[in-house]
């Protein structure tokens, strides 16, 4: 169903995969202990990059879209994982509210919301959609590409409870036990969502929204996770963890002497490039390193640059600066993350392919490749307006088969699943560490 | 992959299925609460009978075989369910011991043990096989039909711990965190398994073995579960629960005046037949009722009779008496269960088919049909030496699709899954209620 991928370089990766497959018992035991101590996010998706010589998560999404791109064969697995998550957070729940993004014309996004709702409904919960669209007064029913429909309803606040109006005067109003955010709150958590009764569980918590979340916190937590995991299976942490650094105050739109933060940026770009160059030499990788400069907050692939030398950030033109300065919903970029670039060496019919792994609770439930024909191997595949073809994984990645080669598809997907779970664990630590004091 | 089944009568069943599908949210909510209060068995399989006018579990196996008959497509689901079970019972576990039956020539049974071990290994546990074969001194490696191998090792006792010898002098001995019985202990729990350190978790507990377990306790617990569930969804409990009664002391091998217990048996057979006849009249079912008389303890389909009138049990000949008197491993039948017979109206190419649903923890992980060409619709399909063709379910049965008819395959399998979970819940209650006082 899914064509095999041709990974150009397989030397060190095969070594990494061999370590992962051989240590499966230790790895699963370690994960079990971690999940006893740290609550997995309700759901997450992780973008991986497979460079052949290293394999690393580059982005961990706590408001994943794309559920409609998953392999429908794995639906029972997603439902079962959601059952476990529902049992943990609210065994007594019946009513579930999803708050999607405010899009009404992005039908692929809405199809994702419908796919997500379908998973949750199949666990036996009643699911409705509460919208934050400011001027929405009445339910708005939208037609979906697959022939289905989705009704967005205005959310109401009554005291410290969030609810929806009754469907008719014969119905009671809809008071959800849990609220699942599929809206990343780039514009900040609106007042209507603040100070809710803690019995109405918010998933993920408000501070996971992009108005407060910082990638640098995530990757700091991932450093910790990657270090511990690498010690467990006896590998160099660099093989699964890109170098990174962050600058607190960068003003991309200032000019001349006012180019505040540029020195910090130049310094970190030089440092990450230098450290990466050393690792390339150590592993005999004959490539020019690059770094990705991206907004420390925000998503949607805006505010991302590929940089090959410090000069690249010194000589940004007006257009590049504008592009970097603002991400989604006017969120201004002042904090930036400098991350070692991990080239993508996976391709399908000469098109670059980036795996995205989906999890519900701590269970891998599938994933897909973003397949892109016109981009280079060192560019961001999640750029705004980017056109990709999703190619659903045909293997689940939740277990390996030690009888086969470490790079057999079932085992490669297992390694992907392990890396994705490491990122989800880092997200769990990050959310703990950044939780606002009560 | 699996041909559709032709169920001859669909009237009342369709009504039952409609109630189940419509009440899905209530049902799942109810199950979530039940599983919060009662620990599901580690694993179980449930034989269902679909009479068209009623659908009921007739046997709940706490030492299920047949894992090799499940649809391999559902393996990820079984692994994920086992992960949840392992996390619950022993998050810190690494080493898992399976104690199979003492068969060394029944290769299909051993293939089942290998399939079960494969599921558990894929959760990341190390699995080995400890055998209770009395004279086994050294590891015994057996070749399996699928080309694999399975090594039975003698179990050792050291103080209150069960263990296996080291693989070589370079290895440590194997001290399991958990012991999974796939041996139903018909001959009683051997001394080596008694009084173990409770930290070595025994699954299921020893009192689930057939030397102590009684079907009448199970069906008494099922009465309670079926009553509550039927009230929840508004159906007559009889539609999912066969009448039953039990006799404490029957001696099938006595003669003449010494035919002890025969009166009790005759009385209960008459009573169950009479009550069933009334229900048949109520639902307009034009059939002759029958009862199944079976050993209250024991398995393997021995000691089972189909009875259409009280005369049938009065006039047992020597051969029938001998057949009833002993089940597996010489376990003597003195207690018998009289159960309303539920005819099977499912057939595939004119062959009688009986669904068997498998669960790990409280999750349905698949099932198969026992398909038998030469037996009648009112006979036991699990008889000794019986030849059946397993036909794996092609749908999982863990969720329904309200958009489809109640008898659409996905929904029929959901109803099967619900009935099987009711039986597993009854087993949970039964094991609680029969737990020996410490």
Prediction ipTM score: 0.87
- The pTM (predicted TM-score) of the whole model is 0.90
Does some domain include residue B36?
yes
Give Cα separations from B434 to A54, A362, A403, B209, B246 (angstroms): 55, 35, 43, 12, 17
Q: Is residue B67 in a domain?
A: no
**Distance in Å, alpha carbon of A354 to nearest chain B alpha carbon:** 23
* Whether residue A49 is found in the same domain as residue A132: no
Nearest Cα residue in chain A from B30? A92
* Residue A195 and residue A93 in one domain: yes
Looking at the structure, tell me whether residues B91 and B193 fall in a common domain. yes
Reported confidence tier of residue B420, pLDDT bands at 50, 70, 90: very high
Q: Are residues B14 and B44 in the same domain?
A: yes
**The domain spanning residue B169 has which CATH number?**
3.40.50.11280
Q: Do B398 and A80 touch (CB under 8 A)?
A: yes
B231 and B368 co-located in one domain? yes
Judging contacts by C-beta atoms under 8 Å, the chain B residues touching residue A398 are 76, 79-80, 122
Does the residue A132 lie in any domain?
A: yes
A287 and A320 housed in the same domain: yes
Query: CA dist B22 to B18, B226, B228, B242, Å?
Result: 6, 18, 17, 23
At residue A2, the pLDDT reads 42
- Show the domain range for B313: 248-339
Of B91, B363, B398, the CB nearest to A36: B91
Domain assignment present for B391: yes
Domain stops at, among A340, A358, A373 = A340
Query: Taking 90 as the threshold, does the pLDDT of residue B299 lie above it?
Result: no
Number of folded domains in chain A?
3
Residue A78 belongs to a domain: no
Which helix or strand (DSSP H or E) is residue B90 part of? helix B75-90
Q: What pLDDT shows up at residue B205?
A: 95
Q: What is the DSSP letter of B69?
A: G
- On whether the CB atoms of residues B247 and B268 are closer than 8 A, the answer is yes
CATH number of the domain within which B296 lies: 3.30.1490
Mark whether B137 and B41 lie in a shared domain: no
Compare CB distances from B124 to A28, A73, A94 and report the shortest one's residue: A28
A399 vs B74: CB contact, 8 Å cut-off?
no
Per-residue pLDDT of chain A (438 residues; tens, 9 = 90+): 344 455 544 556 778 889 999 999 999 999 999 999 999 999 999 999 988 889 999 999 999 999 999 998 889 999 999 999 999 877 778 899 999 999 888 998 999 999 999 999 999 999 999 999 999 999 999 999 989 999 999 999 999 999 999 888 888 899 999 999 999 998 889 999 999 999 999 999 999 998 899 999 999 999 999 999 999 999 999 999 999 998 876 766 665 554 567 788 889 999 999 999 999 999 999 999 999 988 888 765 556 788 898 888 887 766 677 666 665 666 666 788 999 999 887 777 677 788 999 999 999 999 998 887 666 666 665 554 456 778 888 777 788 887 888 878 888 889 999 999 999 999 999 999 999 986
Q: According to the model, what pLDDT value does residue A386 have?
A: 54
Domain match, A321 and A410 both: no
pLDDT at B385 (0 to 100): 44
Q: Does the distance separating the beta carbons of B83 and A25 come in below 8 Å?
A: no
**Do B52 and B88 have their domain in common?**
no
pLDDT at B141 over 70: yes
Are B123 and B79 in contact by the 8 Å Cβ rule? The answer is yes
Residue of A nearest to B81 (CA): A80
Residues 6+ positions from B52 with CB-CB distance below 8 Å: B7, B8, B9, B10, B11, B12, B13, B345
Q: Does residue A332 lie in a domain region?
A: yes
Query: Pick from A340, A362, A389: which residue ends a domain?
Result: A340
My answer on whether B81 and B189 are in the same domain is yes
- pLDDT for A351: 75
Same domain membership, residue A110 and residue A38: no
Residue numbers in B near A73 (CB within 8 A): 73
**Token pair listed for B392:** 């794996």
User: Are A420 and A390 contained in the same domain?
Assistant: yes
User: Taking CA atoms, what residue in A is nearest to B121?
Assistant: A25
Give the three-state DSSP class for B340: strand
Alpha-carbon span A377 to A342, nearest angstrom: 9
| Three-class HEC string of chain A | CCCCCCCCCCHHHHHHHHHHHHCHHHHHHHHHHHHHHCCCCCEEEEEEEECCCCEEEEEEECCCCCHHHCCHHHHHHHHHHHHHHHHHHHCCCCEEEEEECCCCCCHHHHHHHHHHHHHHHHCCCEEEEEECCCCCCCCEEEECCCCCEEEEEECEEECCEEEECCCCCCCCCECCCEEEEECCCCCCCCHHHCCCCCCCEEECCHHHCCCCCCHHHHHHHHHHHHHHHHHHHCCCHHHCCCCEEEECCCCCCCCHHHCCCHHHHHHHHHHHHHHHHHHHHHCCCCCCCCEEEEECCCCCCCCEEEECCHHHHHCCCHHHHHHHHECHHHCECCCEEEEECCCCCCEECCEEEEEEEEEECCEEEEEEEEEECCCCCCCCCCCCCCCCEEEECCCCCCCCCCCCCCCCHHHHHHHHHHHHHHHHHHHHHHHHHCCCCC
Residue A32: the pLDDT is 94
Range name among A54-63, A110-119, B117-126, B391-400 with the lowest pLDDT average: B391-400
Kindly state the tokens that stand for A356: 């995205």
In a domain, B313, yes or no: yes
- For residue B96, give the chain A residue with the closest CA: A25
Q: Helix, strand, coil proportions of chain B in percent (round to 5)?
A: 35, 25, 40
Last residue of a domain, one of A183, A208, A233: A208
């Amino acid at each position: 169903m899914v064509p095999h991928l041709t990974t150009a370089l397989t030397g060190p990766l095969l070594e990494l995969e061999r370590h992962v497959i051989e240590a499966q018992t230790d790895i699963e035991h370690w994960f079990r202990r971690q999940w006893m101590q740290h609550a997995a996010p309700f759901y997450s998706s992780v973008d991986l990059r497979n460079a052949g010589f290293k394999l690393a998560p580059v982005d961990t999404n706590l408001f994943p879209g794309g559920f409609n791109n998953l392999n429908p064969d794995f639906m029972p697995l997603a439902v079962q994982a959601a059952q476990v998550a529902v049992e943990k957070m609210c065994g007594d729940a019946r009513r579930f509210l999803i708050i999607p993004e405010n899009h009404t014309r992005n039908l692929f996004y809405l199809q994702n919301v419908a796919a997500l709702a379908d998973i949750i409904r199949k666990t036996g919960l009643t699911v409705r959609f509460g919208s934050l669209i400011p001027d929405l007064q009445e339910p708005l029913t939208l037609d979906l590409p697959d022939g289905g429909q989705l009704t967005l309803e205005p959310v109401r606040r009554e005291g410290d409870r969030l609810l929806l109006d009754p469907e008719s005067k014969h119905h009671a109003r809809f008071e959800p036990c849990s609220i699942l955010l599929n809206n990343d709150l780039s514009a900040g958590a609106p007042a209507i969502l603040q100070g809710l009764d803690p019995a109405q569980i918010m998933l993920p918590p408000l501070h996971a929204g992009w108005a407060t979340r910082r990638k640098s916190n995530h990757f700091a937590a991932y450093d910790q996770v990657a270090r511990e995991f690498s010690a467990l299976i006896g590998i160099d942490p660099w093989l699964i963890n890109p170098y990174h650094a962050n600058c607190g105050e960068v003003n991309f739109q200032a000019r001349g002497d006012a180019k505040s933060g540029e020195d910090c940026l130049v310094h970190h770009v030089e440092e990450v490039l230098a450290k990466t160059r050393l690792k390339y030499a150590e592993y005999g990788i004959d490539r020019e390193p690059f770094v990705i400069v991206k907004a420390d907050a925000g998503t949607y692939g805006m505010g991302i640059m590929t940089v090959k030398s410090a000069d690249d950030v010194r000589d940004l033109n007006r257009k590049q600066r504008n592009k970097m300065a603002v991400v989604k919903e006017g969120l201004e970029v002042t904090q930036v993350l400098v991350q070692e670039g991990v080239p993508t060496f996976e391709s399908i019919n000469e098109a670059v392919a980036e795996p995205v792994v989906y999890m519900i609770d701590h269970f891998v439930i599938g994933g897909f490749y973003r397949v892109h024909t016109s981009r280079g191997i060192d560019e961001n595949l999640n750029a705004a307006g980017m056109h990709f073809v999703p190619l659903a994984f045909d293997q689940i990645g939740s277990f390996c088969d030690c009888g086969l080669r470490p790079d057999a598809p079932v085992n490669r997907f297992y390694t992907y699943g392990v890396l994705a779970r490491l990122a989800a664990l880092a997200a769990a630590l990050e959310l703990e560490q950044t939780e606002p004091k009560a």
